Amino acid sequence: MKKIAVFTSGGDSPGMNACVRSVVRTGIYHKLEVYSIMYGYDGMIRGDIRKMQSHSVSNILQRGGTVLKSARSEAFRTKEGRKKAYEQLQSHGIEGLIAIGGDGTFTGAKIFFEEFGIPTVGCPGTIDNDIYGTDYTIGFDTAVNTALEAIDKIRDTAAAHDRIFFVEVMGRDSGYIAIECAIGGGAELVMVPETKTTIDDVVKSLKGLRKSKTSSIVVVAEGDEEGGAAHIMDKVKAHFKEEDKEFKVTTLGHIQRGGNPTAKDRILGSRSGMAAVEGLLQGKSNCMAGIINDKVVYTPFEDCITKDKPLSEEYLRLQEMLSI
């Protein structure tokens, strides 16, 4: 293998740049020519492909977002689109691919590999931490810390006014961000898609807590089965008398995706990038380079996409104990 290419796809996450930098530099270290594909699968089809040097990735390690840009690609969902992408790679002599992204990215990579056979290794770049085959995804730690800083600020104002705050964090199918924010933020309650918490449960808990606490924070994962935070708040509020408490809601939104990556995400991005390059060189393909128990593990894309990654029971138990 002489020439490889790297791209980012799907939602951006902090640490993707660290991963790109690592792919480029460890690739060059191993005597490879490394190319970047701009705008993910879309740029692959359009042939937006550039030769990278070591200095091309200078001073990006500490930046959020992705210098390779990201985009949705309807065309890549078609056989015809993928054929064009393949021809572009062929014309550049690309013999290996490194795909940085999440579920959707890996689904595309798997189909593409099975159709055209270009060896491909993935790196888990998504803030949601919902990928099987790695303890953490690149961007998760930053997203949690960003959300936590926001929750610290909200606690200031919640405490000043004796309010009950519902804070919605990201996580469409997964409560990872929510549970870490709840423990780290000292939230009184957490609502995640993985567990069933009814409105009645919430009402009962909050009424119980009122005896000992003047203000409360409820962390809600956006994908909770009871709906978003605003919806849940309205339903809970109906069970309280008006004068009882002031209820407020905040949706943290896109700030959780951006920002300078934390140490953990810079290191995870760097390790994962190196592991992807070395995996390709060792003949690995159709799999993702994750870190499990501090060791590099290659997991088939098939498993990454289809297998569940359950929330820690210990964390749920811990959150409950700490909120007394």
- Which residues are identified as catalytic? 128
Q: What does R_g of the chain's alpha carbons equal in angstroms?
A: 22
Q: Min. distance of Cβ 265 from a second copy in angstroms?
A: 9
- Rama region for 124: left / alpha / beta (φ>0; ψ in -120 to 50; rest): beta
The upper half-sphere exposure of residue 283, i.e. CA atoms within 13 Å in the direction of its Cβ, equals 0
Q: How far apart are CA 141 and CA 62, in angstroms?
A: 14
Calculate the alpha carbon distances from 153 to 62, 147, 185, 214, 217 in Å.
24, 10, 10, 17, 12
Question: In this complex, which beta carbon is closest to a second copy, that of residue 62 or of residue 91?
Answer: 62
Query: Binding site for ATP: which residues?
Result: 11, 72-73, 102-105
d(CA 102, CA 258): 16
Angle at the Cα of 94 from the Cα atoms of 88 and 95, rounded to 5 degrees: 135
Known binding residues for ADP are 21-25, 155, 186-188, 211, 213-215
- The partner residues of 165 in beta bridges, in order of sequence, read 217, 248
Helix (H) or strand (E) holding 251: strand 246-251
Q: Which is nearer to a second copy, 55 or 238 (CB)?
A: 55
Q: 8 or 120, CB closer to a second copy?
A: 8
What is the nearest approach in angstroms of a second copy to the Cβ of residue 19? 11
Regarding beta strands 295-300 and 287-292, do their DSSP bridges make them parallel or antiparallel, or are they unpaired?
antiparallel
From residue 231, how far is each of 1, 56, 224, 225, 235 by CA, in Å? 54, 46, 11, 11, 6
**Phi (first) and psi of residue 231, to 5 degrees:** -60, -45
Nearer to a second copy, 88 or 145 (CB): 145
What is the closest distance, in whole angstroms, from the C-beta atom of residue 38 to a second copy in the complex?
11
CA distance 56 to 24: 9
Rounded to a whole number of angstroms, the minimum distance from the CB of residue 161 to a second copy is 6
Q: Cβ(180)–Cβ(128) under 8 Å?
A: no
Token digits of residue 169: 């964090």
To the nearest whole angstrom, how small is the minimum distance from the Cβ of residue 4 to a second copy? 15
Judged by beta carbon, residue 39 or residue 112, the one nearer a second copy is: 39
Q: How many CB atoms lie within 10 A of CB 211?
A: 6
What kind and span of H or E run contains 24? helix 16-29
Please say which residue, 69 or 110, places its beta carbon nearer to a second copy.
Answer: 69
Instruction: Kindly state the smallest distance separating residue 181's Cβ from a second copy, in Å.
Output: 8
Token pair, residue 294, equals 């501090």
